[in-house]
Structure 1
Amino acid sequence: MLEVDSLEKRYKTGDMALRGISFTVAKGQVVGLIGPSGAGKSSLIRCINRLVEPTGGAIRLNGLDLTKLSGGNLRQARRRIGMIFQEYALVERLTVMENVLSGRLGYVAFWRSFFRRFPQTDVDKAFQLLDRVGLQDHVDKRADALSGGQRQRVGIARALEQDPELLLVDEPTASLDPKTSRQIMRLICEVCRERDLPAIINIHDVVLAQMFVDRIIGLRAGAVVFDGPPTDLTDTALTEIYGEEDWHAMRKTREEDAADESETKAFEAERLAELV
């Protein structure tokens, strides 16, 4: 379980990025973090994994207060937090397998990582994860030969290779087309539920978040202004988070996109049947 208690972050400029944020995330729960640019979403994610130092409050992961750690203890704690990045953060010249195995770098001796000689158990696990994310036929491909969706699947497998207790996901679909975005969100949510793994997904696409996550937290000006199930995210709540917008039109456009995709799939299936 993740517990965030009265978390604050004030930057040296005096700007207050986070204002007394408190919430908990239970095992297996997937939380979508939404809000306008500058709301504090990235600051919150980075405070949780201590890439940014909180100014006040506590962050407890399964009882361990991450804000009180430093040095080697902090490095060990970070191994318990898996990260999935918007721009994938892969090593382009390495293979898919080598990128996934990099998720074990915090666990193996330096000489093993330098020579890429990982224990067989780590290699076996990486094969299993690549099969789970649908990349079993791309093990030896270089990362720079993959599509955006495939790269993000490698990022998911790499994060899971850590055996994390918490998953932090930063805009996983920002560079993907609508169909691939849904596939990636579905995959992330499925693996979290399979592993009883809590996750926070920083996401701009509100409709996509509503389709997949268990719970939504909305930030505005560094404070929580919404916390509840996706079904409670009404137009009034969205206006509280983002300001005035035609939310009905936005949903209608998304529904039309989904309908177009469904029709395209049906047409392709018919054409395939004719060819067979």
Structure 2
Amino acid sequence: MIELGTLPSTVLEVARLNKRYPTGDLALRDVDLRIGRGEVVALIGPSGAGKSTLIRCVNRLVQPTSGSVRLDGTEVTDLGSASLRRARRRMGMIFQEYALIERLTVMENALSGRLGYVGFWRSWFRRFPTTDVAEAFTLLIRVGLSDMANKRADALSGGQRQRVGIVRALMQRPELLLVDEPTASLDPKTSRQIMRLILELCTERGLAAIINIHDVALARQFAQRIVGLRAGVIVFDGPPNSLDAAALTAIYGDEDWTATLGHGGKVAEDEHRSAVPEVERLAGLA
């Protein structure tokens, strides 16, 4: 596991980022954030805090009003359309609502992650290189969907759809994963499985990830670092074990946080520690 303070390099640097919508609402205010290569960061905060806006400003699905977003040294905010398409290949996006093409098969949805790399006619006729097909099938095996490659996406459960979305993002061979509420539509068991899978894959591939998530317990269990947003401002940035009652109050407002930080919080912290060697073993790092 990569420890904070010993990250080998910065893959994403956000500086003084602001986003004001045409309504006048200020969604992000002077946000500064650095993500190291291989670092998994959970982004938490109340609804409307700016979490999704921040993720979408990074890949410019939302255009920032001002500020800087640098991906491995490349200034994303200055890129023209062609250069931006190339930069987006390096940022895999995993959506809350899966964003699959329902009438296509699992394999076809997975291969759509290569659309930025193949020519127009090959993508139009869905004629992908055999190496891409082999890679997609290997990933489907990794996420437990090898027997569903030819099923239509609309025949899948929520957890299965999210796994296809993960494979599609990884097919881009990204440096950074942007993950927007991956567990919002899932039951508790499936939510834990999906978060564990994302952590394992990031560890195996040395990927950085920003995960926008509402579930504080899941964030504490699976992330290496937690960033808390409130009203578009970062009010907390630290390791999971530093997320105490004062920090939660700063992020969400006054509340009795005993249930969150009592026995349940201790269990989450212990499980996070116990998950580390297992994830490293699976990645061949231990």
Question: Which TM-score applies when normalising by structure 1?
Answer: 0.90
Q: CA deviation at 1:254?
A: 5.5
**Equivalent residue letter for 2:228:** G
Where does residue 89 of structure 2 map in the other structure? 79
Q: Does the CA contact (< 8 Å) of 2:244 and 2:261 recur in 1? A: no
Alignment of 1:200 onto 2:200: no
Where does residue 188 of structure 2 map in the other structure? 178
Residues 210-251 of structure 1: per-residue CA shift (max 9 Å, x gap): 000000000001100000000000011001100122222245
Q: Does the CA contact (< 8 Å) of 2:162 and 2:182 recur in 1? A: yes
Query: Which runs of 5 or more residues in structure 1 are unaligned?
Result: 259-276
Aligned equivalents of 2:24, 2:163: Cα separation in 1: 39
Where does residue 155 of structure 1 map in the other structure? 165
Where does residue 114 of structure 1 map in the other structure? 124
Alignment of 1:241 onto 2:263: no
Q: 1:227 aligns with which of 231, 237, 262?
A: 237
Q: Does the CA contact (< 8 Å) of 2:114 and 2:172 recur in 1? A: yes
Q: Does the CA contact (< 8 Å) of 2:101 and 2:109 recur in 1? A: yes
Question: Which TM-score applies when normalising by structure 2?
Answer: 0.87
Q: 2:36 aligns with which of 13, 22, 26?
A: 26
Sort the Cα spacing of 1:180 and 1:252 in 2 relative to 1 into closer, same or farther, 3 A. Answer: farther
Where does residue 55 of structure 1 map in the other structure? 65
Q: 2:136 aligns with which of 114, 117, 126?
A: 126
**Equivalent residue letter for 2:14:** V
Aligned equivalents of 1:10, 1:148: Cα separation in 2: 33
Aligned equivalents of 1:52, 1:88: Cα separation in 2: 19
% same residue: 70
Q: 1:8 aligns with which of 14, 18, 22?
A: 18
Alignment of 1:102 onto 2:112: yes
> What SS does the aligned partner of 1:137 have?
helix
Q: 1:138 aligns with which of 125, 148, 154?
A: 148
Q: CA deviation at 1:75?
A: 1.1
Alignment of 1:44 onto 2:72: no
Aligned-residue CA RMSD (Å): 1.6
Residues 133-179 of structure 1: per-residue CA shift (max 9 Å, x gap): 11111111111111111110000000000001110000000000000
**Equivalent residue letter for 1:31:** V
Aligned equivalents of 2:15, 2:261: Cα separation in 1: 34
Aligned pair count?
258
> Which structure has the larger Rg?
1
**Equivalent residue letter for 1:61:** L
Where does residue 271 of structure 2 map in the other structure? none
Aligned equivalents of 1:245, 1:189: Cα separation in 2: 30
Q: CA deviation at 1:56?
A: 1.2
Query: Which runs of 5 or more residues in structure 2 are unaligned?
Result: 1-10, 269-286
Q: 2:75 aligns with which of 65, 68, 71?
A: 65
> What SS does the aligned partner of 1:231 have?
helix
